[in-house]
Structures are given as C-alpha cells and as structure tokens.
Structure 1
Amino acid sequence: MDALMARFSQQTEHDLRAAGWEPGRRVDTTAWRNQLEATGEVHMHAAAEGFLGEFGGLKVKISGPGVSSAREPFEFNPWDLHGEEGRFAGWGARLGKSLFPIGELDGGRFFLGISELGEILLVETWVATFGIGDAALENLILGVKPDELA
C-alpha cells in the first residue's frame, strides 16, 4: 500500500479526483488572500494557505446517504464568501480560534472555514466541526454529521 492510499479512503480519493484534485496539486492563493484580508477582519493563516493551496477551487459534486448525514456537495472557493468576513471573525473570537473562509456546503446553505489548527468548520448561525485536516475531508465526503460547537 502506497502513501497516497493511506492518506484517503478509496471513496474520498475517488470523489476528490473527480473534482480535479491530484497528488501534489498546487494553486495560487494570493487573490483569495488579498480579497478576504482587505476588510481586516480575517487573516489567511498557514493552515488556510496550505489547505487552499492544495484543495482551493475544487467543486465536489456528491449526494446520497452518508454515514450519519446526507452526502452534500461542497466547493472550496473563498470568492463566494466575500462579504461574510465578519461572520468568520465573530465566530472565531467567540470560539478562541482564527477562522478563515474556505468555501460553501450544500449549494451555499452553509459556509466552511478553517482554523489555524487545520480544523474544518461549518459556519452558519451556529458552528460545528468536521475534524482536522484529511479526517475532516473524509467526514465531508462520506457524510459524517459534524459535531456542534456553538
């Protein structure tokens, strides 16, 4: 078994590849940084830059039953969250985390953010966590209900 196979489950790797991801993928995050940091409310920390550098721009088109909730489509496109910086700053302050917008879940019904520790969070009028790093991607793709934080 190679290192890539150990990183993601077969289903997660399949769905990420279908969205355009491949090992070693890199995209420029400068435009997202400039746009979202312009308000002064959010800061693209290293975890956000690393995550978006690998997964930014992907649109994962999934549906159907999941492990503990529906498999919902999501997109890692911070452009769509311009104007929501205050929501991320406010929740970040309340939770004691630095949150940076990374995309949307279920066609914009929910927002997605990432903490400085690589934790992927659902952000709405409440906040829930999908977990940290690759485990969070697994949970998003496999339909694992996030744990509500506030």
Structure 2
Amino acid sequence: MDQDLCAAGWHPGRAVDVTDWREQLEASGEVRMHRAAAEFLVEFGGPNVEIDGPGSSSAREPFELDPGLCVGEEDRFAGWGADVGCSLFPIRELDQGRFFLGISEVGEVFLVETWVATFGVGDAALESLILGVVPQKRLRGVRR
C-alpha cells in the first residue's frame, strides 16, 4: 500500500493545508469538516494514485484525494450521513465522478452514490481502496 501512495507523492509525516477544501465545502452549509476528515486530509489529501488492474474482489481504480472535486455534492453527503447516523465529509471522487468517498467522524470511509457502502476505518479503508476490495453496503434503498 505504501508503495502506491509514495509513487503518488505521499510520505510518512506529510502535512498539507486543508483550509481551501474546508472553505469550499462548508460554504453550502450542508457539511462541516470534522476532526477525522481534517486529520485524514492533512496526511493523505491531494495525491493522484494511479493504480489499475485486477484487485482482491474488484478492479483497482485510480483515485485523487481531492475533496474539491466533490463541490456541489454536499447535500448528497449530508443526506446519506443522516441515513447512516454519522457526519460524512467529502474526501474525493472515484471513477471520474461516478462515485464519491466520504469520511465519518470516526474515520470510516464510505463510498457514496445512490447507495452507500463502507471500505472500513482508517488505514484499513485506504488499503481496501488500493487493493481493489469491494465495499460492504450499509443501507438498502435509493436516494436521489
């Protein structure tokens, strides 16, 4: 996992300023950057992880950890966060905007679309993304 992240520009102890992302996404009033989101983005925000090929249970998809790509989708994160009982803050888009990723206040990373699924918490979630592990659905139903 570290090899793929390092190739994208990440390194242990990395710290980036998240002020612009906070301001862009909080402007709508729909979402607030909580501590887990800020800590995750300070360390992992920005890199474009270029991966592909077969994964553990799904194809490995390239991703960019840029929450700014989620501007305009804040209501989606607020709605699904309420449905799963947490505060979801956007952290990136996946598959050229087909899916989004959000992080809860306990560090659980969710795939957000017209349904939600979890990749797990913290480093395990990031590892699942890199290894191509299918997320586990959390709710049934469709939100439009």
TM-score, normalized by length of structure 2? 0.95
Deviation beyond 6 Å, 4+ runs, structure 1: none
Deviations 1:81-123 (A, max 9, x none): 1100000000001111100000011222210100000001100
C-alpha distance in 2 between matches for 1:105 and 1:36: 17
Is 1:55 the counterpart of 2:44? The answer is yes
| Structure 1 residue aligned with 2:13 | 24
1:75 Cα deviation (Å)?
A: 1.1
Q: How does 1:69-108 map to 2 (within 5 A)?
A: 69-108=58-97
Deviations 1:31-53 (A, max 9, x none): 11111111111000000000000
Instruction: Please state whether the residue corresponding to 2:128 is helix, strand or coil.
Output: helix
- Write the letter of the residue equivalent to 1:103: R
Is 1:113 the counterpart of 2:102? The answer is yes
Q: Which consecutive unaligned segments of at least 5 residues does structure 2 have?
A: 140-144
1:124 Cα deviation (Å)?
A: 0.3
C-alpha distance in 1 between matches for 2:3 and 2:23: 32
| Structure 1 residue aligned with 2:23 | 34
What is the percentage of aligned positions where both structures have the same residue? 70
Instruction: Please state whether the residue corresponding to 2:92 is helix, strand or coil.
Output: strand
Question: Please, which moves more after superposition, 85-94 or 105-114?
Answer: 105-114
TM-score, normalized by length of structure 1? 0.91
Q: How many residues end up aligned between the 2 structures? A: 139
Is 1:130 the counterpart of 2:97? The answer is no
Q: Which consecutive unaligned segments of at least 5 residues does structure 1 have?
A: 1-11
| Structure 1 residue aligned with 2:142 | none
